[in-house]
Amino acid sequence: MFTIDLTDKVAVVTGGANGIGKAIVDALRHSHAKVAVVDLHPSGRNTERDLFYIQADVSNKENVEKMMEQVINRFGKVDILVNNAGISTMDYLVDIKEEDWDKTMDVNAKGVQLCSQVIAQQMKKQGTSGKMIHIASQAGKNGYRLMGSYVASKHAVIGLTKVMALELAQDQINVNAVCPGIIETSMKHRERVLGGKLRGLDEEAIRQEDASQVPLGRTGTPEDVAYVVMFLASPFSDYMTGQALNITGGMTMN
């Protein structure tokens, strides 16, 4: 009775080739969904019937429109969108480079808007209910040193979540965000190296500092995030919309 079964559902996962996105793709497939993996660098080949890799940049409108066409040609519809693609840059606010700011906002905020827009149009056309899940961050609720562009972009994602939830509620499209804390992926590795350089610390010192900040005593895994996303993709969350759920081991409670 409490199994998540997504047989006949079609999901689109952006940034699904690595890290959190890949764990979400694996979990969706485990629940029998058909999955389109949209990534700048898709890591797989299109040899399986229910798994479709699409190369696209989520911050590029033409790419996103073409991606939508490819998904429809392949699977005929979309039921679930997971806006996961994201990047981070690090610098002190006084030193942020314009191109870093623009790139971060383009991928993390505009990318969510572009993908959600084409998929909301498609879901409305289908006349079916749908689920949209944005991978925001606890940086969408708090400030963090060295993360000015990223923090701004993730606050934007949570704002968009609320507006989309209101505007799409009449179509029975639920729009929610998740806010991961410190999750062990290649993005986190890059942040430790870069943050370490800026702060004069080595990566290991930052890793220990990270773990010490988490009430549950450990940093997170991509699967920790994927399981909550699965709940939001399933009928068990039908009465939830416009929420931003923390997955932080207790690090963020607001």
Ligand X SMILES: NC(=O)c1ccc[n+]([C@@H]2O[C@H](COP(=O)([O-])OP(=O)(O)OC[C@H]3O[C@@H](n4cnc5c(N)ncnc54)[C@H](O)[C@@H]3O)[C@@H](O)[C@H]2O)c1
Q: Which residues bind ligand X (CB under 6 A)?
A: 14-15, 17-21, 39-41, 57-59, 84-87, 107, 111, 135, 137, 180, 182-183, 185-188
- The residue (of 39 and 100) whose beta carbon lies closer to ligand X is 39
Residue 203 φ then ψ, to 5° = -60, -40
Residue with tokens 């409670």: 253
Residues near 246 by beta carbon (within 8 Å), at least 6 away in sequence: 138, 141, 178, 179, 181, 252, 253
Alpha carbon of residue 248 to chain centroid:
15
CB of 229 to ligand X, least distance (A): 10
- The residue (of 53 and 75) whose beta carbon lies closer to ligand X is 53
CB of 66 to ligand X, least distance (A): 13
Q: In angstroms, what CA-CA distances link 119 with 75, 114, 147, 200?
A: 13, 9, 30, 44
CA distance 122 to 40: 22
Question: Among 53, 92, 150, 239, which one carries the catalytic annotation?
Answer: 150
To the query of whether residue 150 is one of the catalytic residues in this protein, the response is yes
Nearest to 112 by CA among 75, 157, 63: 157
- The residue (of 120 and 183) whose beta carbon lies closer to ligand X is 183
- The residue (of 20 and 173) whose beta carbon lies closer to ligand X is 20
Dihedral (CA of 108, 110, 111, 116) sign: positive
CB of 58 to ligand X, least distance (A): 4
DSSP assignment of 176-225 equals: EEEEE-SB-SHHHHHHHHHHHHHHT--HHHHHHHHHHT-TTSS-B-HHHH
CB of 2 to ligand X, least distance (A): 27
CB of 106 to ligand X, least distance (A): 8
CA distance 77 to 123: 8
- The residue (of 86 and 195) whose beta carbon lies closer to ligand X is 86
Instruction: Cite the active site residues.
Output: 150
